[in-house]
Structure 1
Amino acid sequence: MGSDVSSVRHRAAPNHTEHMIRDFLLGQLRRFHPVGLALGLIFAVWSMTPSLLPRTWLLQSVATGLSFVSGYVIGVVAAWLVRRCGISPSWSERTRRTGWWVLAAVAAIAIPAFLVLGSWWQEVVRDLVGAPQPGRSRYLLVLLVAALVVAILVGFARLVRGASNRLTRYGSRYVPGPIARTASVALLLVLALFLIDGAPYRALVGNIDESFALADNGTADDVEPPTQPERSGSPESAEPFDSLGKEGRTFVASGPDAAEIEETIGRPAIEPIRAYAGREAADSFDGIAARVVAELDRTDAWSRDVLAVATTTGRGWINENLAQALEYTTAGDSAIASMQYSYLPSPLAFLADRDSPPEAGRALFEAVYSRWDAMPEDARPRLYVFGESLGSFGGQAAFSGEQDMLARVDGGIWTGTPHFTPQWQRITDDRDPGSPQRLPVIDDGEAVRFAASPSDLDLGTPWGEQRIVYWQHASDPIVWWSPDLILRRPDWLREPLGPDVDPGIRWLPAVTFWQVTLDMVFSADVPDGHGHAYGSDAADLWAAILQQLDWTADDVATVRSALEE
């Protein structure tokens, strides 16, 4: 008999646990607002529609989870506003139960259907940008990971709400309830701002920066110190090779020498100059820039035909396609001046440090320009600028706008410019009527032109001697990401889409924002000519900007081939 009782207890224990888990989950689900769930479902399935670039199943999971939460919040706020307006429908229990069953049935049909459609849409987007097809089977995991994202975010929100309620109850002992509620919300907002932009945040960024400073001591494989005196980091240079940072060491050790240029283009060439200083060269950006100018003095860069100021991304990276295309097109009669201003990789610098790129961009250009401007006009090199991504953002900070650029440089290329760049925004907003946001026409293309591919430079109108090119792809999320996507459909989604953008892309509040946000993660991991991958088209763009004498289409094709090797 005792054994029978024991057996019953052992069988009952798991059942009791299962009931507790089930009751807990049902209790959590009942706390969801039906209007929020309905709108969250719409946002979640819409998140599986195509955006600018193909997404992995994991990124799609995050986009779906974030979209669901965004829809849920909007639905709950909308229902609250309706109640505040005095509209409070009284549904019967039967009607409520029917509504829940309808919502469950719609979810059971829509979610699997959109998972299948989403995996197919991703294949279409991959075809448009020439990316490989990884298969669709893992897309089934989207629902599981998205549910985990939702659980984490909802759990955090409920913790915050619980904290607010406790603070309100405590405050109500001393002041009226509404004042206590307002004070609790205000206190939590102040705490959030302190964590986001206060001492803890700065300490966190400082620790991250120090960690990446240690990683910056490494050197990429097959990178050796340069031997040419025209390179910083060489034995003749005042800038030690080890001080240039990982990306700086790669930059000065890369690129063609005079013999390679001559062999490639079939013309006499000289050794191109690459002047560079690392973050540890001085305690300030002005100090680092002064070291770069000293390298220009040492290498007699002022006697070259072309001098280009290049603003780097976070850790000092420069797109080799832009640098080498310039050197090939000028037969080596060029000098590139650049510097490292941060230890943070571009994604972290993008999120955590928007101040350093413009400060460094201004410091470097002003240092070079001051020295260049003091030279006799007929004895100084032609002055150009270029930069990609954060480099474009930082480099443009040296100028107040289009006219200031044209007053101080002969031309340049700004590549994959982030949407938050003020100069880019002003120029784009002032585009000629009828021209699209993705390829604006500025003053009939007299000086500034936008291009996704070299053919876009041909506007059929005269192009002056000073030539600025904004190189941006229609499918580059770095260019088109903006917080405005949360509530407003941008012009680039109202107008005819670019050739590498899926015609099925649509704007939906919040959803499109999360889609484009997640598109940025692997925006450079697509074939050249799409997304944030800018490659051999640099040969055509520099040829159009520099206008070298006797430079032919065959020469451009030769340089393109050299860049593609």
Structure 2
Amino acid sequence: GLRGLARLLGRAAQRWGRLPQRAASVVGAVAAVLLVLVLVNDVVLRRAVAVVDSAFSSRNDLDFPGVEQPDAAGRSGSPQSLVAWESLGREGRRFVSTGPTADELAVVAGAAAVAPVRVYVGVESAGTAEERAELALAELERTGAFERSVLAVVTTTGSGWVNAAAVDSLELLHGGDTAVVATQYSYLPSGLSFLLDLPRVEEEGRVLLDTISAHVESLPEEDRPRLLVYGESLGARGSEHAFTTLADIRAHTDGVVWAGPPHSNDLWRSLVERRDPGTPEVAPVYASGLVARFSADADGLTQPPTPWIEPRVVYLQHPSDPVVWWSPDLVLTRPDWLEEPRGQDVLPTMTWYPVVTFWQVTVDMTNSKTVPDGHGHNYDDVVLDAWVAVAAPQGWTDADTERVRAVLEAHGS
């Protein structure tokens, strides 16, 4: 049974990992449970996910304070929308009913400011990823989104959350001449989605991006909006899954920002593993920073001081973000980031121990959003700088960036 499997795996851990007997027993028990979960995934686990998903569905109907149905035609859920207001879900209704005001946009763009387009399709708006993507495409066409200078595709986290700071920053950066589209694929909180239901976010991210990018590429080149991609945390996992290589990203987008990517992201991990010799895992440099850069702050985006060609890819990652560094490998393997000098906001005394470090980082993930900006899993203070690096309008200056930052702080983004 499960106990026998645990003993067998424990003995293997003791032999190959050279662990003390007690530690090897713990490793064996954990490994046995994980193995059983993998083996029954298609039967028991899938049913369990459906039950848990249903249990969280009631929260989808509860609105945040101050959320009201928009009147503007450029918003999903408005009277003119193809998507019913009630179907958008809790996070979707907040997304389409908020954002910079006309006066705030005018502070940056002057008289040229226009009302941004925000398109959202909820999990109750359409039944499958394909149907949600097609509905989102129809909404984008209805709102004139493909006539804007910038179109951003956002892959949400868990229950449909979109980071307001990321969207507000982009809209202020371009004076409202933007369209942002996102879809919801689950009722589950992000942590549960990550642990139990990764295939759903991967499918959602791939299908939405494929659908939107195919339409953009069907337009005359001179009439295409600048196509940008954003994903944070689980959303970074979903939207990165739409691409296989940096060349693939460059072929189908005009710039990408991924914040707090989970360690399991295939493309992120392959770039970090093949980083330039001598650069650390927490702040890697890949191919002299020619296409993709990894940064914890605004200054890091300027490094290395070598050419950075467009389209550009940015990974925002803090050394202290447990979401980025958590991996099952921590159970038995010391990672490079604990072999090398510690990152700027990691205690120099932090040390790797078999099993212990895995659980330490696991527990840290539950508190990763309760720390100040610039640390842990909080990237609101640097996302504007990332957008400036990836998609600044022509002639943009540092003074313009500070003006936007002041508006964001006053707005509360």
Q: 1:263 to 1:76 in 2, by over 3 A?
A: closer
Letter of the 1:410 partner, please give it. D
- Structure 2 distance, partners of 1:541, 1:214, is 36
| Corresponding residue number in structure 1 for 2:308 | 463
Root-mean-square deviation (Å) = 2.3
Q: 1:537·1:560 contact (CA, 8 Å) conserved in 2? A: no
Counterpart contact for 2:289–2:307, Cα < 8 Å:
yes
Query: Structure 1 vs Structure 2: percent identity of aligned residues?
Result: 45
How far has the Cα of 1:379 moved from its partner? 0.9
Aligned residue runs from structure 1 range 44-123, under 5 A = 73-74=22-23
User: Contact 1:265 / 1:559 at 8 angstroms: preserved in 2?
Assistant: no
> 291-300 or 253-262, which moves further after superposition?
253-262
TM-score by length of 1: 0.66
Contact 1:216 1:246 (C-alpha < 8 Å) held by counterparts:
yes
Aligned to 1:522: 367
Could you tell me how far 1:199 is from its partner in structure 2? 3.3
TM-score by length of 2: 0.90
Residue of structure 2 aligned with 1:360, choices 204, 207, 216 = 204
1:235 correspondence with 2:79: yes
| Mapped partners of 1:456, 1:329: distance in 2 | 20
Higher mean alpha-carbon deviation, 535-544 vs 521-530, is at 535-544
2:332 matched to 1:383?
A: no
Is contact 2:84–2:125 with CA below 8 Å preserved after alignment? Answer: no
Structure 2 residue 98 is the aligned partner of structure 1 residue 254: yes
Q: CA deviation at 1:482?
A: 0.3
**Any idea what the Cα deviations from partners look like across 1:136-169, whole Å, max 9, x if unmatched?**
xxxxxxxxxxxxxxxxxxxxx8xxxxxxxxxxxx
C-alpha contact (below 8 Å) 1:265/1:558 kept by paired residues: no
Could you give the per-residue CA deviations for residues 350-395 of structure 1, whole angstroms, max 9, x where no partner exists? Answer: 1110111110001100110111110011111111101101100000
| Equivalent in the alignment of 2:352 | 507
Asked if 1:408 corresponds to 2:220, the answer is no
Could you tell me which runs of 5 or more consecutive residues in structure 1 were left unpaired when the two chains were aligned.
1-35, 37-69, 79-156, 158-187
Pairwise CA distance, 1:73: 2.7
Q: Matched residues in 1 for 2:379 and 2:140: separation?
A: 28
Mapping of residues 467-486 of structure 1, within 5 Å:
467-486=312-331
State the shift of 1:218 in Å.
1.3
CA 1:454–1:200 in 2, change beyond 3 Å: closer, same or farther?
same
Task: Find the structure with the greater CA-based Rg.
Answer: 1
> Compared with structure 1, are the counterparts of its residues 216 and 376 closer, same or farther at alpha carbon in structure 2 (3 Å cutoff)?
same
SS in 2 for 1:414: strand
Letter in 2 for 1:301: A
Equivalent residue in structure 1 for 2:289, among 434, 437, 445: 445
Q: CA deviation at 1:340?
A: 0.4
| Match status 1:344 vs 2:188 | yes
| 1:302-321 matches, cutoff 5 A | 302-321=146-165
Give the helix-richer structure, 1 or 2: 1
Supply the distance in 2 between the matched residues of 1:224 and 1:423 (Cα, whole angstroms).
39
Aligned to 2:129: 285
The equivalent of 1:429 in structure 2 is 273
Residues 250-287 of structure 1: per-residue CA shift (max 9 Å, x gap)? 11111114332113554621111111100112221000
CA deviations over 1:39-86 (Å, ceiling 9, x no partner): xxxxxxxxxxxxxxxxxxxxxxxxxxxxxxx966336699xxxxxxxx
3-state secondary structure, aligned to 1:520:
helix
Which residue of 1 is the match for residue 332 of structure 2?
A: 487
Per the alignment, residue 176 of structure 1 pairs with: none
- 1:194–1:467 CA distance, 2 compared to 1 (3 A): closer
Alpha-carbon shift at residue 288 of structure 1 (Å): 0.3
Q: Is the 8 A contact 2:330 2:354 kept in 1?
A: yes
The total of aligned residue pairs comes to 390
Q: Determine if contact 1:388/1:414 at 8 Å carries over to the other structure.
A: yes
Name the structure 1 match of 2:6.
none
SS in 2 for 1:307: strand
Q: In 1, distance between residues paired with 2:97 and 2:184?
A: 15
> Cα deviation per residue 1:448-476 (whole Å; 9 max; x = unaligned)?
11110010011210111211100111100
What amino acid sits opposite 1:424 in the alignment?
W
Matched-pair contact (CA < 8 Å) for 1:225–1:233: yes
Query: What is the identity, as a one-letter code, of the residue corresponding to 1:417?
Result: P
Q: Is the 8 A contact 1:384 1:411 kept in 2?
A: yes
Deviation, structure 1 residue 557? 1.3
**Is 1:301 matched with 2:250?**
no
| C-alpha contact 2:108 2:400 (8 A) present in aligned 1 | no
Post-superposition CA distance 1:460-496 (Å, at most 9, x none): 1011121110011110000000011111111111122
Q: Hey, what's the Cα distance between the residues in 2 that align with 1:349 and 1:456? A: 31
Task: Please state whether the residue corresponding to 1:355 is helix, strand or coil.
Answer: helix
Question: What is the CA–CA distance in structure 2 between the aligned matches of 1:524 and 1:76, rounded to whole Å?
Answer: 33
- The superposition leaves residues 384-435 of structure 1 with CA deviations (integer Å, 9 ceiling, x where unpaired) of 1011011000001111121111111111100100000111111211211111
Alignment-derived partner of residue 268 in structure 1: 112
Letter in 2 for 1:488: T
Q: State whether structure 2 residue 390 is matched by structure 1 residue 545.
A: yes
Q: Offset of 1:536 from its aligned partner?
A: 2.5
Contact 1:269–1:332, Cα closer than 8 Å, also in 2? yes
Deviation at 1:309, TM superposition (A): 0.7
**1:420 partnered with 2:256:** no
Q: 1:299 & 1:408 partners in 2: Cα distance?
A: 22
Could you tell me whether the CA contact under 8 Å between 1:278 and 1:339 is conserved in 2? yes
**Alpha-carbon distance in structure 2 between the residues aligned to 1:234 and 1:299:** 11
Structure 2, unmatched stretches of 5+, are: 1-9, 11-18
